[in-house]
Structure 1
Amino acid sequence: MPTALVRRPSPRLADGLVTHIERTPVDADLAVRQWQAYVDALEATGWTTVEVPAIDECPDGVFIEDTMVVYDDLAVIARSGAEERRPESAAAAKTVEGLGYRLTDITEPGTLDGGDVLKIGSTVYVGQGGRTNEEGIRQLRDALAPLGTDVRAVPVRKVLHLKSAVTALPDGTVIGYEPLVDDPAAFDRFRPVPEVAGSHVVLLGEDRLLMAASAPKSAELFEQLGYKPVVVDISEFEKLEGCVTCLSVRLRR
């Protein structure tokens, strides 16, 4: 059964980092309800969720995907390019280790955020930009090499993370809102979508795509392609450059 790590939002969520968009007020109470609806959507589609201990002192802790990169039985524990986010990784690492995964760490001077990593089969795209540096990518490449991966660095300048710009459909096609994608040609197959939030999908299995309510035109496009959107409202997390991918770590073995 597929498993997802999640972490409850901090009461300080509204103080989270914002880099590429203007700050707007965040309703922390609504965010908690939206987070629960996100968890419920995962569980309703056959996923088991494992809650990592909350870290209330870190406003961005809910964006748990940034704490690690998981491939096969290995969890590469990230070292965020945002120093204030680095404490978020410890409890997440302990949790995934308790589920039977091997651990390795990104170490100084390397930086890596999990949100910069897009896995498509054995190809692993890594966004090099504000949060992930060249040394972090080198360390990730070395860690994943024994597992037969092809790690490819791609530029990220227009958005916070690579997966702020692109994710992938079940057939491996990379999707993104083209004005925010630095180099569409970096991907083997690329399909533009009509909305920013349409760039972000979580693959739930059986052609189901978890995606945000703020991308109805993209949902219609995916339906036309034969996929089944599972729509959640994550408006309060979008105000902090969050999306459906960064609210969980998906584990499949």
Structure 2
Amino acid sequence: MARLLVRPPSPRLADGELTHQQRVPVDPALARSQWDDYVEVYRARGWDILPLDTADEHPDGVFVEDVVVFFGDLAVVTRPGADSRREEIESAKRLLEASDVAYAQIDAPGSLEGGDVLKIGHTAYVGRSSRTNDAGIAQLRALLAPRGWEVVAVPVTKVLHLKTAVTALPDGTVIGYEPLVDDSAVFAAFLPIPEPEGSAVVVLDDRTVLISASAPRTAALLREHGWEVVETPVTEFEKLEGCVTCLSVRIRG
């Protein structure tokens, strides 16, 4: 069964960390409505929704992808690069323990955020960004090598996370808005797209992806390439360098 880890947005969402964007007003009520619609996309397709503990004191807590990453039956609890986000991992650990899920953890001096991890097959492309450092990447490589995974470090200097710049379609083709991609040549297949908001897609099944409603030209391009595309608005999260990938952790059973 496909499962989805999510956390509702905090009323303090507007106070979240910003690295590459200027702060603009965020509508908390609209953010909650958009989050509800986002979760409903999965629920309508039969996904089992697993909510993490609410964390109203953590403005960035809704971006749950950053605190835990799954590699098959192993969960890796991260160590966020932003000090303000470190306490978010505790609720993730409690949920994993209650669910009898095996997990490992990234420790100091390493830092790693799930938004920097792009999985294609058994290769994990990991962004070396302002939030993920070399020590964190080395720890992840040591954890995954015995399980047959390859870890490839990728420079990220123009956006917050690797998956802010690029994500992958169901066939492994990587898509991204080229002005924000440091090095597209590292990927075996790369498809440039026309909007920065279109760089993030979530694979719903072998033919379908979820994308921000802010990227209609990218949605049209992907449909021209034969993909089914579901669009959902996430404008309030995009104001905080968020996207459709970072609002959940997708686990396929």
Structure 2 length normalisation: TM-score? 0.98
Sequence identity percentage: 57
Structure 1 equivalent of residue 105 of structure 2: 105
DSSP 3-state at the match of 1:119: strand
1:131 aligns with 2:131: yes
User: What is the CA deviation profile of residues 113-149 of structure 1, one whole-angstrom value per residue up to 9, with x for unaligned ones?
Assistant: 0100000010100000100000000000111112100
Q: 1:220 maps to what in 2?
A: 220
2: CA distance, partners of 1:48 / 1:230: 19
The CA deviation at 1:161 is: 0.3
Question: Which residues of 2 match residues 38-49 of structure 1 at below 5 A?
Answer: 38-49=38-49
Equivalent position of 2:183 in the other structure? 183
The amino acid that maps onto 2:244 is V
CA shift digits 1:145-168 (9 cap, x unpaired): 121001000000000000000000
Secondary structure, counterpart of 1:40 in structure 2: helix
Q: 1:2-60 CA distances to partner (integer Å, 9 max, x unpaired)?
A: 00100000010000011111110000011000000000011112211110011111100
Q: Deviations over 1:32-90 (max 9, x none)?
A: 00000000011112211110011111100000000011101111100011011011111
Q: CA deviation at 1:96?
A: 2.7
Matched, 1:147 2:143: no
Deviation at 1:212, TM superposition (A): 0.4
Cα distance in structure 1, aligned partners of 2:149 and 2:137: 13
Measure how far apart 1:97 and its partner are: 3.3
Give the Cα–Cα distance (whole angstroms) in 2 for the partners of residues 200 and 222 of structure 1.
12
Query: Distance in 1 between the 2:145 and 2:241 partners?
Result: 31
Partner SS for 1:245:
coil
Cα 1:108–1:249 shift into 2, 3 Å? same
Classify the secondary structure of the residue corresponding to 2:237: helix
Do 2:76 and 2:104's aligned partners in 1 also have CA atoms closer than 8 Å? yes
2:59 corresponds in structure 1 to 59
Q: Secondary structure at the match of 1:157?
A: coil
TM-score for both structures, normalised by structure 1? 0.98
Aligned residue for 1:80? 80
Q: Which moved more, 1:100-109 or 1:126-135?
A: 100-109
| 2:3 match | 3
Structure 1 residue runs of 5 or longer lacking an equivalent are none
Amino acid at match of 2:202: V
SS at match of 2:108: coil
* d(CA) in 2 for partners of 1:129, 1:243: 17
Moved over 3 A (4+): none
In the alignment, residue 244 of structure 1 is paired with which amino acid? V
- Structure 1 residue 173: deviation in Å? 0.5
Q: CA–CA distance in 2 between the matches of 1:85 and 1:24?
A: 21
Return the alpha-carbon distance in structure 2 between the equivalents of residues 229 and 100 of structure 1: 34
Q: CA deviation at 1:101?
A: 1.9
Instruction: Give the C-alpha shift of residue 95 in structure 1.
Output: 1.2
Aligned to 1:18: 18
Partner of 1:200: 200
Contact persistence 2:170–2:206 (CA under 8 A): no
Secondary structure class of the residue paired with 1:205: coil
Aligned to 1:245: 245
**One-letter identity of the residue aligned with 1:155:** P
Q: Could you tell me how far 1:94 is from its partner in structure 2?
A: 1.8
Deviation of 1:98 (Å): 2.8
